């Protein structure tokens, strides 16, 4: 009863897309989620660019909470740079979107098993894979399959069962604090970013509007400059200053990888996708577009890898890594190089960039122009910045 072609662990965007894609390929797929409902609580600013999202998925209108038409960056000393030339972007309702993605996977034929954390996994003597979990009643339950796709997030340790080193350097992870804020002071179509040591050491603070006077407000502190409780303290202090008397809900914390993507992405019949594979833009911590693409690619490749006798061609699974490396993988590597430089920049450098940009016409300023100005003295990084935004 618990034997499948493909097991997907984790029902976030990467896992749901992998399950959907694999089921579309005609395979018997099991999608296992540790929580009762995927995507709750939301651990994301919910912002996404049009190009990144629609490369994989056409969004449903009900997923879109706000359309972003402009942005503002605020330097450590308070110099504001208005960015009026913003590519089409949205702030999404991730709770609804994530639930719909799981529903779409189920509609394609994937079997959803919720409230079942997977605690261990192994390769069996018959060249298949066994995942062991605990169901809602506390009983141990086993699942077997020819292929295992791990999409269980940044905190996952399951990859260790198959030889991956999952520990991250402190400089390759951000500790984030996040809350929903309701206030009359929120601009309905503008994303705002604050930089500098006082706002978020080694990271940045963001305000993403959700419509109706509500916004996602959060920040990330790089692990090498963090201490216990600091992100929460900084976030609450900012909200109290910026939005006095506001209604604050959904405050929680979590980690975001901001390093290089895991290598290899495939070991035998096991594949990594999403945060579990560290597939996140290293500059801004955005991973939704990456996760959707990786999940879809991994699921499609896995479905095609089965031989006529039901066994899996492990070499065929490597096509997923080649596809990732060619597309978003290169983009992530560029973002990592830029992040490493930004990490070395002090507040004075950020203020200098902001001061020069603040004198320009906001309608002509875009994200690329900001980064081009920042890396003007570094030709190699300048090229990476250009390619990142092209």
Closest CA to 320 of 283, 269, 258, 251: 269
For the chain, the 3-state helix, strand and coil shares in percent, each to the nearest 5, are: 35, 30, 35
Categorize the per-residue pLDDT at 368 as very low, low, confident or very high, splitting at 50, 70 and 90: confident
pLDDT in tens, 2-13: 999 999 999 999
Beta bridge partners of 64: 92
Whole-number CA gyration radius for the chain: 21
Query: Euclidean distance between the first and final Cα of the chain, in Å?
Result: 49
Beta bridge partners of 6: 29, 147
Q: Cβ atoms within 10 A of the Cβ of 367, count? A: 18
Q: Each residue of 103-131: b (16+ CB within 10 Å) or e?
A: ebbbebbbebbbebebeebebeeeebbbb
> Could you tell me the strand order of the sheet in which 80-83 lies?
80-83, 70-74, 190-195, 204-211, 214-222, 173-182, 247-257
CATH architecture assignment, domain 3-339: 3-Layer(bba) Sandwich (3.50)
> pTM for the full model?
0.94
Q: Write out the two tokens for 213.
A: 């006077």
The pLDDT, as a whole number, for residue 98 is 96
pLDDT in tens, 257-296: 999 999 999 999 999 999 999 999 999 899 999 999 999 9
């Amino acid at each position: 009863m618990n034997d499948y072609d493909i097991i997907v662990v984790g029902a976030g965007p990467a896992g749901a897309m992998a399950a959907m894609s694999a089921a579309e390929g005609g395979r018997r797929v099991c999608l296992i989620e540790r929580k009762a409902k995927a995507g709750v609580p939301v651990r994301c600013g919910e912002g996404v660019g049009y190009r990144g999202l629609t490369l994989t998925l056409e969004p449903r209108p009900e997923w879109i909470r706000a359309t972003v038409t402009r942005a503002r960056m605020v330097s450590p000393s308070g110099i504001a740079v208005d960015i009026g030339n913003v590519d089409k972007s949205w702030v999404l309702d991730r709770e609804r979107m994530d639930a719909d993605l799981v529903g779409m996977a189920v509609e394609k034929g994937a079997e959803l098993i919720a409230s079942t954390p997977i605690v261990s996994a192994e390769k069996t003597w018959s060249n298949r894979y066994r995942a062991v979990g605990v169901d809602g009643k506390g009983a141990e339950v086993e699942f077997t399959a020819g292929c295992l796709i791990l999409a269980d997030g940044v905190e996952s340790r399951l990859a260790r069962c198959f030889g991956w080193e999952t520990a991250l350097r402190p400089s390759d992870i951000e500790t984030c604090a996040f809350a929903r804020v309701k206030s009359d002071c929120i601009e309905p179509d503008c994303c705002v970013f604050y930089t500098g040591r006082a706002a978020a050491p080694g990271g940045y603070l963001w305000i993403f509007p959700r419509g109706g006077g509500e916004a996602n407000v959060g920040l990330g502190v790089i692990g090498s400059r963090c201490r216990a409780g600091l992100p929460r303290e900084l976030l609450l202090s900012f909200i109290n200053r910026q939005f006095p008397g506001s209604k604050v809900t959904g405050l929680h914390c979590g980690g975001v990888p901001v390093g290089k993507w895991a290598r290899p992405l495939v070991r035998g019949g096991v594949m990594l996708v999403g945060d579990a594979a560290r597939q996140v833009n290293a500059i801004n911590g955005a991973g939704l577009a990456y996760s959707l693409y990786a999940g879809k690619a991994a699921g499609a490749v896995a479905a095609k890898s089965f031989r006529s006798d039901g066994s899996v061609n492990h070499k065929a699974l490597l096509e997923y890594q080649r596809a990732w490396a060619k597309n978003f993988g290169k983009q992530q590597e560029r973002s990592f190089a830029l992040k490493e430089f930004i990490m070395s920049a002090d507040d004075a450098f950020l203020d200098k960039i902001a001061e020069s940009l603040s004198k320009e016409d906001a309608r002509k300023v875009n994200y690329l122009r900001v980064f081009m100005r920042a890396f003007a003295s570094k030709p190699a990084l300048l090229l990476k910045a250009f390619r990142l935004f092209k």
